[in-house]
């Protein structure tokens, strides 16, 4: 997919400013027949798989593995994390959407579910029809980081450098083309009036490796995926995209504080199941995942990484994704952004 920016981009992308970009997963829809013979009281009685639609090493992977370990202890069953990256998360998302709805294949999804729905060529599954939400687990800021050798320490210095060298400063997109990071960077470029050189990646892990290695100058990434590298000085954190600072990195200012008063981007990650999964099993999984997320030890671990615990009911995320799909559609149309 490529994004062609036209003269209307400034006005259209302005609609995105001040809107918290988040999403949720969609509930079971009419026509999705439940799987017979699955008893929620006996669930799970065999191993459970959690599909992560991005590469290992990123924030989604860390979240999935943390929850998987705790669920395995609670359920006395193996809970296996399987990374299926590619096509801006569409490959892994589709794999779960087309899986048997018995509760033994789950998705650790995020913003890509709603974004995929608006992108031609990524519609081998329909999130409105083929998936249902289990819980929105966490919300989190995106974090703008640079390699130390770039020589900038603040957001204002980064903006000045991009304006001085338009099109030269490379920016990794951990979620790939068409991801939340992509739209957020397009918005940032529009707001500062200069263009970065965007490089798509299949996940936060490989994107981070290239920034750490000095092959890419900067990156917009989920804060939880970069916290450790910021603390040990391997990456320089410039700003977070939310209107609030993160407790994990309290000294890092917001982009709003740094000169773009209406810039807001917040992402989310959570769990989904095939739409045909019986509601009793979805409720059982929701209850246990929420309990795990709210355990003081788990919550402290995730919050220290930079996550904010959400731990919602399935219905709460369903309404959010509907609203976000509508929001993204309006922004793309208003800005005359063409998805190919």
Give per-residue pLDDT as tens, 240-279: 999 999 999 999 999 999 999 988 888 899 999 999 999 9
Instruction: Pick one of 3.40.50.720, 3.40.190.10, 3.90.79.10, 3.40.47.10 as the CATH number of 141-240.
Output: 3.40.190.10
Domain 22-138+270-330 has CATH 3.40.190.150: yes
Distance from the Cα of residue 158 to its chain's centroid: 24
Q: What is the pLDDT of residue 340?
A: 55
Look at the block and give the residue holding tokens 């290992």.
56
What's the angle, vertex CA 294, arms to CA 89 and CA 85, rounded to 5?
A: 10
As a whole number of angstroms, the distance between CA 84 and CA 92 comes to 5
Euclidean distance between the first and final Cα of the chain, in Å?
A: 5
Q: What is the pLDDT of residue 178?
A: 82
What does the pLDDT profile of the chain (340 residues) look like in tens digits? Answer: 444 444 343 434 443 444 434 433 333 333 344 445 467 889 999 999 999 999 998 899 999 999 999 999 999 999 999 999 998 899 999 999 999 999 999 999 988 888 888 887 767 998 888 999 999 999 999 999 999 999 999 999 999 999 999 999 999 999 888 888 988 898 898 889 999 999 999 999 999 999 999 999 999 999 999 999 999 999 999 999 999 999 999 999 999 999 999 888 888 999 999 999 999 999 999 999 999 999 999 999 999 999 999 999 998 777 777 877 887 776 666 555 555 5
Residues paired with residue 273 on neighbouring β-strands, in sequence order: 132
The alpha carbon dihedral of 302, 303, 306, 309 has a sign of positive
Q: Are 84 and 91 a contacting pair, CB within 8 Å? A: yes
Q: Indicate the pairing of strand 79-83 with strand 3-4.
A: unpaired
Q: What is the reported pTM?
A: 0.82
As a whole number of angstroms, the distance between CA 327 and CA 193 comes to 23
As a whole number of angstroms, the distance between CA 1 and CA 80 comes to 31
Q: Could you please report the per-residue DSSP string of 318-338?
A: HHHHHHHHHHHHHHHHHTT-E
141-240 has the same fold as 22-138+270-330: yes
Q: How far is CA 306 from CA 144, 165, 229, 232, 302, in A?
A: 14, 32, 12, 15, 7
Q: What is the pLDDT of residue 186?
A: 86
Q: What is the pLDDT of residue 15?
A: 39
Domain ranges of the chain: 22-138+270-330, 141-240
Count of beta carbons in the 10 Å neighbourhood of residue 161: 18
């Amino acid at each position: 997919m490529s994004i062609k920016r036209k003269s209307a981009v400034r006005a259209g992308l302005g609609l995105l400013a001040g809107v918290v970009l988040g999403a949720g997963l969609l509930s079971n829809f009419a026509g999705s027949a439940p799987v017979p013979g699955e008893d929620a009281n006996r669930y799970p009685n065999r191993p459970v798989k959690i599909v992560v639609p991005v590469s290992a090493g990123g924030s989604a992977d860390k979240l999935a593995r943390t929850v998987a370990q705790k669920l395995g202890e609670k359920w006395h069953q193996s809970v296996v994390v399987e990374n299926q990256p590619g096509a801006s998360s569409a490959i892994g998302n589709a794999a779960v959407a087309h899986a048997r709805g018995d509760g033994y294949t789950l998705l650790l999804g995020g913003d890509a579910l709603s974004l995929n729905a608006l992108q031609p060529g990524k519609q081998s599954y329909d999130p409105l029809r083929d998936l249902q939400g289990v819980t929105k687990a966490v919300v989190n800021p995106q974090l703008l980081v640079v390699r130390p050798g770039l020589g900038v320490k603040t957001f204002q210095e980064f903006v000045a450098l991009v304006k001085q060298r338009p099109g030269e400063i490379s920016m990794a997109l951990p979620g790939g083309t068409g991801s939340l990071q992509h739209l957020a960077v397009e918005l940032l470029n529009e707001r500062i009036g200069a263009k970065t050189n965007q490089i798509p990646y299949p996940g936060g892990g490989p994107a981070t490796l290239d920034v750490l290695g000095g092959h890419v100058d900067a990156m917009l990434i989920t804060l939880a995926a970069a916290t450790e590298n910021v603390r040990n000085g391997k990456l320089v954190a410039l700003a977070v995209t939310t209107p609030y600072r993160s407790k994990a990195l309290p000294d890092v200012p917001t982009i709003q504080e740094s000169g773009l008063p209406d810039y807001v981007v917040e992402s989310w990650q959570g769990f989904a199941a095939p739409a045909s999964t019986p509601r009793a099993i979805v409720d059982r999984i929701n209850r246990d995942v929420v309990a795990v997320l709210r355990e003081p030890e788990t919550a402290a671990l995730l919050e220290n990484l930079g996550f904010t615990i959400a731990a919602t009911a399935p219905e709460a995320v369903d309404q959010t994704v509907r609203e976000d799909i509508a929001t993204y559609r309006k922004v793309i149309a208003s800005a005359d952004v063409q998805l190919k």
